[in-house]
Copies of this chain bind each other. A is one copy, B any other.
Amino acid sequence: MPVYNAPIQDISFLLNDVLKLQQQNIPGYDALEPELLQAILEEGGKLASEVLAPLNASGDREGCHLENGVVRTPKGFKDAFDKVKEGGWTGLDCNPEFGGQGLPYIVATAIAEIFASANMAFGMYPGLTHGAYSAIHTHGSAEQKATYLPQLVSCKWTGTMNLTEPHCGTDLGLMRSKAEPNQDGSYAITGQKIFISAGDHDLAENIIHLVLAKIPGGPAGVKGISLFIVPKFLVQKEGALGPRNKVSVGKIEEKMGIHANATCVMNFDGATGFLLGQAHKGMRAMFTMMNEARLGVGVQGYAQAEVAYQNALAYAKDRLQGRAATGPENPDDAADPLIVHPDIRRNLMQQKSFVEGARAFAYWGAMLIDQGNLAGDEPAHGLVSLLTPVIKGFLTDRGFEFCVQAQQIFGGHGYIEEWGMSQFARDARIAMIYEGANGVQALDLVGRKLGQDGGKHALAFFELIKTFCAESASESPEFKADFIEPLKTASKQLQEAALYFMQNGLKSPNTALAGSYDFMHLFGHVCLGYVWARMAQQAFRNSAQGTGDAAFNETKIKTGLYYMQRELPATALHLARIKSGADPVMALTADQF
C-alpha cells in the first residue's frame, strides 16, 4: 500500500528561505512566521497521511455510485470530509467575514498540494467549492454572499462548475443551455452539462452549481453567456433548505481515474437559477477564477508526481535486484537494492528534480497571485497571468510523465493496481485535460498572454531573469557556472522563440500556433531553471553561512545541478522545433492524413 509523507522541510525551505514570505511587502505575509507555517504544515500533513492517504486506493477501487438519483461516495469519505471541515482546512484563504481563516493564497496552495498528493479525488471536493466561493465572493451581490459564502467556506455546502456540454468544451460559444427569466427575477435554466466533477455526492447538505447559460435574445457566441447560481436545494429566507431544485444527475461517467469523485452528466430541467454578476458577462466572471483554478490544477500535476516519487524511492531502496556495476554494495544479501543502478538513479533524479522545481514554480506563482490580489500589484498580476498556462500545462504534462516513470521503477508490480502506482498515473492524467486541455493552455499562452498589453508581461519576465542573473555577479564561480550560465542560455532561447513568433506571426498566424506546445514546454523549462537557480543560490548561501540543514543544502544543490545539466538542455530541442515553422505541421491537407 502506498505511503505519503508531506515534504515539510522542502516546503518550509521554499516559503522561508527562498521566497522569504515574511520579508515581502504583501498584506498578511508579515504574520507568516516560520513557526506558524510549520504548525500549519505539520497539522495538514498529519491529516493527509493519517486520514486522506489511507482512503486513496480504496476510494479508487470502490468509486462513486448513483443510487436512486443520488451519488454515494466511497466508504470513509464522509468521515474524512467532516474531519477536514472541523479542522478549518476548507476556508484557509477565505474572507474572515464569511468564516474564513484569512490566510494568504500561498498557504492554501501548500495545503492543497499536500491534500492532492494524499488523495487527489478527495481534494477536488473542497477545491471546487473554493472555486464557487471565489466566483460568488468576486461577483455576487451582498445578499448572495451572505446566503452562500459562509456555507461554502465551511464546506457545509459544496460547489461545482458547469461549463461543458456534449457538443462544446473549449468552444463555449456553441453553448445551448438557456436561462429564461422568471417573473421573480430568477431564471429557469434548461440544458445538459457534462463532465461535472462532484456534480453530486453525499458529503454536504447542499450543492451550489455555478452554471453557464444563455439568456435568450442576448449576443451570439461567448458574448451572450451568463453565469448562474443553481442550488441543488433552494435556499429559503433564513438560510434553511427549501425544495429540491430541478437539477438531476443523468449518469456517472466511467473514467480512467479519480474514481472517488463522481464526474456527472447534469440535467437542468427548468431549474431555478440566480444571475451571478452581470448578464452576458459570464465568461468574464469565469475568467477571474481561471488563474487560481489553473494554478491549482498545475499543483495537482506535480503533487501526484511527488507521491509517486516517494513510493518509487522507497521501493528502489527496498527491492533487491542485481548488483552495482562498481561492485556489491549490499554484500550480505543476494543482491543490491535497485537504487544502486545508474538508470534507476537517472529515473529518480528526473522525478526529484522535476517535483522540487515544480513546487517552487507553483509557489512563486501563488505568491504573485497574492501580490496581485492582496497588494494590488498590477505587474505581479500580469506576470502570473502570463505564467498560468505554463504552470498548468507544463506541470501537468510532466507530472503525469513522472508518475509513469515512477511506476516503471516497480517493473511488473507497477502495472498491478494493488501497488497503487497505476492509480497515481491514472489520476494525474486528468490534470492534462480539465480546466482547459493543455493544447488550449499553449494556445492561450502564445495566442493571448504573450502579446497581452503590448507584450509587457513577457518583457517583464525576461527582465526579471536578466536582473537575477546580473545580481548574481558576486556569487561563487561554481554557482555562476553551474546555474546562471545555463539559465542565461535557456532564457535566450525562449526570447529567440518569442522573437521568431513576432517576426513570422503576421505573415502566417499558424507559425506561432504550430510552435505553441513547444513554446509552453520551453517556457516551463526556463521557469524551472530560474527557480532552481534561486533555490541553489539560497542553499549555497546557507552552506556558506552554516545555516540550515547541511545535508539538505547539499542535496538541494546536487538535485538542481541535475536539472540544469540534464533537463534544461531540452530548451534547444523545443526551439529547433519551433523554428521549423508551420510548414512541416500543416503540409498535409485534412484528406491526406
* Residues in A lying within 8 Å of B, measured CB to CB: 164, 167-171, 173-174, 194-195, 253-257, 263, 313, 317, 320-322, 325-326, 334-335, 337, 339-349, 352, 400, 404, 407-408, 411-412, 414-418, 422, 425-426, 429-430, 432-434, 437-439, 442-443, 447, 509-510, 513-514, 516-517, 551, 554-555, 558-559, 561-562, 565-566, 569-570, 572-573, 576-577, 580, 582, 584-588, 590, 592-593
Known: A170-B322, A174-B335, A569-B573. 19 other contacts (CB 8 A): A164-B412, A171-B322, A171-B335, A174-B321, A195-B412, A253-B416, A254-B416, A325-B513, A339-B593, A342-B516, A346-B517, A346-B585, A400-B404, A408-B433, A408-B438, A555-B593, A565-B584, A566-B577, A572-B572
* B residues near A415, Cβ cutoff 8 Å: 255-257, 429-430, 433
The contact of A343 among B345, B443, B576, by CB within 8 Å, is B443
A343 adjacent to B255 (CB under 8 Å): no
* B residues near A573, Cβ cutoff 8 Å: 569-570, 572-573
* B residues near A592, Cβ cutoff 8 Å: 551, 554-555, 558
A586 adjacent to B345 (CB under 8 Å): yes
Most B CB contacts (10 A, CB to CB) among A404, A561, A593 go to A593
Tell me the bound Cα distance from A426 to B257 in angstroms. Answer: 11
Closest residue to A577 on the B side, CB-wise? Answer: B566
Closest residue to A314 on the B side, CB-wise? Answer: B593
Closest residue to A442 on the B side, CB-wise? Answer: B343
**Minimum distance in angstroms from A2 CB to a CB of chain B:** 15
B194 adjacent to A412 (CB under 8 Å): yes
* B residues near A561, Cβ cutoff 8 Å: 584, 587
Closest residue to A591 on the B side, CB-wise? Answer: B551
A-B pairs with beta carbons under 8 Å apart, 29 shown:
A169-B412, A170-B321, A170-B411, A173-B335, A174-B321, A255-B416, A256-B416, A256-B417, A256-B422, A325-B447, A340-B590, A341-B443, A342-B514, A345-B586, A348-B593, A349-B585, A349-B588, A400-B404, A407-B429, A411-B437, A425-B429, A555-B593, A558-B584, A558-B592, A562-B587, A565-B577, A569-B576, A572-B573, A573-B573
* B residues near A429, Cβ cutoff 8 Å: 404, 407, 415, 425
Closest residue to A561 on the B side, CB-wise? Answer: B584
The contact of A434 among B339, B341, B412, B447, by CB within 8 Å, is B412
The contact of A339 among B425, B565, B590, by CB within 8 Å, is B590
Closest residue to A558 on the B side, CB-wise? Answer: B587
Closest residue to A429 on the B side, CB-wise? Answer: B415
Tell me the bound Cα distance from A509 to B345 in angstroms. Answer: 14
Most B CB contacts (10 A, CB to CB) among A340, A343, A432, A582 go to A343
User: Are A349 and B584 also in contact (CB < 8 A) when A343-B517, A569-B576 are?
Assistant: yes
* B residues near A340, Cβ cutoff 8 Å: 590
A437 adjacent to B417 (CB under 8 Å): no
User: Are A254 and B418 also in contact (CB < 8 A) when A171-B321, A585-B349 are?
Assistant: yes
The contact of A417 among B171, B255, B321, by CB within 8 Å, is B255
Closest residue to A556 on the B side, CB-wise? Answer: B592
Tell me the bound Cα distance from A404 to B437 in angstroms. Answer: 13
User: Are A439 and B347 also in contact (CB < 8 A) when A195-B412, A418-B253 are?
Assistant: yes
User: Are A509 and B169 also in contact (CB < 8 A) when A256-B417, A342-B585, A593-B313 are?
Assistant: no
Closest residue to A562 on the B side, CB-wise? Answer: B584
**Minimum distance in angstroms from A199 CB to a CB of chain B:** 13
Tell me the bound Cα distance from A432 to B412 in angstroms. Answer: 10
B439 adjacent to A343 (CB under 8 Å): yes
Closest 8 CB pairs of A and B: A342-B513, A256-B422, A558-B587, A342-B514, A325-B509, A254-B417, A171-B321, A565-B580
**Minimum distance in angstroms from A154 CB to a CB of chain B:** 30
B174 adjacent to A334 (CB under 8 Å): yes
* B residues near A344, Cβ cutoff 8 Å: 439
B593 adjacent to A566 (CB under 8 Å): no
**Minimum distance in angstroms from A322 CB to a CB of chain B:** 5
Tell me the bound Cα distance from A573 to B195 in angstroms. Answer: 39
* B residues near A588, Cβ cutoff 8 Å: 345, 349, 555, 558-559
**Minimum distance in angstroms from A479 CB to a CB of chain B:** 16
* B residues near A411, Cβ cutoff 8 Å: 169-170, 433, 437
Most B CB contacts (10 A, CB to CB) among A326, A339, A415, A432 go to A415
* B residues near A253, Cβ cutoff 8 Å: 416-418
Tell me the bound Cα distance from A422 to B516 in angstroms. Answer: 25
Tell me the bound Cα distance from A561 to B343 in angstroms. Answer: 32
A343 adjacent to B254 (CB under 8 Å): no
A422 adjacent to B255 (CB under 8 Å): yes
A514 adjacent to B352 (CB under 8 Å): no
Tell me the bound Cα distance from A559 to B584 in angstroms. Answer: 8
Tell me the bound Cα distance from A569 to B572 in angstroms. Answer: 9
Closest residue to A317 on the B side, CB-wise? Answer: B590
**Minimum distance in angstroms from A182 CB to a CB of chain B:** 28
A343 adjacent to B516 (CB under 8 Å): yes
**Minimum distance in angstroms from A426 CB to a CB of chain B:** 7
Tell me the bound Cα distance from A400 to B570 in angstroms. Answer: 21
Tell me the bound Cα distance from A244 to B512 in angstroms. Answer: 67
**Minimum distance in angstroms from A160 CB to a CB of chain B:** 15
